[in-house]
Amino acid sequence: MTTLFLNVGNTRVAVGEGLPGTPEFQVEYFPTEHFLEQWAPPCRELTSWRAYGACVVPPIARALDAQFPGGFHWISPQDFPQLDLSLYPPGRLGADRLANLAAAQALAPGEAVMVVDCGTALNSVCLSPQGKFLGGVILPGRETALASLGRNTAQLPEFAVSAAHDFNPLGTDSETAIRNGVDLGILGAVEKIVRSTRETAAMAQCRLWFTGGDAPFFVEYLPRELQAELPPLPLTLYGISLAAKP
């Protein structure tokens, strides 16, 4: 039987086939808004495949459940009894954040880990060495910040995220000023969040992992002393895959 792992985000959907960390593991990406029309399972017969997923776009989960009854298992806290989620309101933790916590615990047992997921929204989750979720933050990601300026102002244009960075605080045109303002601002915000998190007793010596589509940007440009790293596996998909293990 083919096993699939889906991470349904606000901007894109990652579909993994095989087990994360093995040579056979492959990931395909789809724009979220076109996912239902572009993606198809290996075959129509539900006896030949099973999917495990984290979804932050409920209409997509409902549509897939209606089209493939019983084909999808959407992860929940019940899949990860080893995690202590007692500090968070029941049923309110996003499935992507839950998957990141489960993956961090599995990959760094007995360690404090801070995971920063960099997508449409940028969020952090903090796990104590004892496996307790201590909380985190949520703020707009780079693409969201860029888009909001274009959509909510009368004269500022909207720009997409660029691979080019010069971090010039003296921009002499709108595009340079906007891009560098967003990039410098979000780097400063994330640095402050990390340093503030490490000022707490439980997270003073935490690992710092960045995941999500924008993770390489932060790992490259944050101060080196923060020791920001990419995790050894695609973190969210790996966390989802843990729900498939007996």
Number of H-type helices and E-type strands within the chain? 7, 11
8 A C-beta contact, residue 171 and residue 180 = yes
- Measured between alpha carbons, how far is 163 from 69 in angstroms, rounded to an integer? 41
Reply yes or no on whether 214 is catalytic.
Answer: no
Instruction: Count CB neighbours of 142 within 10 A.
Output: 24
Residues 6+ away with beta carbon under 8 Å from 33: none
Q: Exactly one of 65, 79, 84, 96 is catalytic; which is it? A: 96
The bridge status of strand 12-17 relative to strand 26-31 is antiparallel
| Cα R_g (the chain), whole angstroms | 19
Cite the active site residues: 96
